[in-house]
Structure 1
Amino acid sequence: MHDDRSPHPFLARCAIDPAVAELRPDYRALLMVVDGLDARAASPAADRMIARAETRARELLAGAPVVELPHIAAWRDAYRAFGAKPQRTRNSLEALTRRAEGGLPRVNALTDIYNAVSVLHQIPLGGEDLARYRGPARLVRATGDEAFDTSADGADVVEHPDAGEVVWRDDAGVTCRRWNWRQGRRTALSDGTRSALFIMDALAPVDDAALSAAGDDLAEALATLGDTVTVSRTVLRAS
């Protein structure tokens, strides 16, 4: 791995732009770099976690509409703050929780585990291939000129975020639009991923202890996907 993507130097350079902090001073991000992964490994832990997550989603939605679940409601407010319409572009937690009630998608153990952790802990969670990063991860408000690799109608396309939109990016362009709505293709996880970056997003009412517990759960489950899995982590704060 190139030096600028070695876990500790990489994490030390990741940052939240002050313009984002002004929107939600309560925002925190738990960033985890996990090395030594085998995304194609069989994992009974992944199967168990998905089953638990689906049950958890049904329990939550039996008690309240999805838009009233506390952390989902907080993220809908955050989207409105930078001009997004949450009823049209749902944050990743809301989208997964809605799907989990009827059954989460199965991709591979790596993706299945982080989807399950997101639903179980009710925290938006994204995973990306660190080897495809160019420079550190930064949370910024977009100018509108940045490139975002995605697909439309089965074809690869390059889009651009709206000016002022909150995005995760590296030196090459946007890696995730609308804070935690849609991840790009360039840094997407694949069966060949060996080193992954995970980003967990927290707003009030989620506290630091709950965010840390979600990270612990993710790290423990991912440790089953290789004989030499290592985890490095840091917390970025808006305030």
Structure 2
Amino acid sequence: MDITGSVALVTGSNRGIGRRFVEQLLERGATKVYATARRPELVDVPGVTVLPLDITDPASVAAAAVAAPDVTLLVNNAGISSSGSLLTDDLADARRAVDTHLWGTLEVVRAFAPVIERNGGGAIVNVLSALSWFAAPGAGGYSVAKAAEWNMTNAVRLELASRGVTVQGLHLGAADTDMMAGYDGPMTDPADVARASLDGVQAGAAEVLVDDWSRMVKASLAADPTALTDQLG
């Protein structure tokens, strides 16, 4: 689809990757951009329509779909970080990660897919992660949630293919955002993440791998899973 003339809605748009999506959508000529967040007062990008949206609250999602009936491009960026052991720590954080990344994102897709279809078709972007494909110590809950969100993305892509709605899975390693504060490895500029994704939307790409890290991890799926974990040390 063409970004120019589109009407977009971005979840979690008050900072990081979501904010960069909003800025680039405006730069690329989107007619309207709905910038949503659990705390909408933190959205400070000029020229947008700000809406409150908590993706884990079905009533909030339904209200957003009513308030934004002209959407043709949905960017599911909202998410949380989680940490801890799946075997020994309290599972509350892991459950919250799954509720947010899987069920919350799916709730938004279910609400807006009919909206996009009624408006003549368009696209959905789900912001995923290289952790959809491997697990790192202390990030088991997040990885489980992203793995589930990845295959949910694949499933809804099949269901929406005949309805004029493309679905993109966007994968990356680490981006230079508040969520990754303290990480000392290589990080991608969030603007480059948004740029790669929107280029993919215009090309109709089902999957976008932003960086070398996500491409390496995806390629490793054909090998013994211990090969990757041994490489990571």
**Structure with more strand by fraction:** 1
* TM-score w.r.t. length of structure 1: 0.28
**Structure with more helix by fraction:** 2
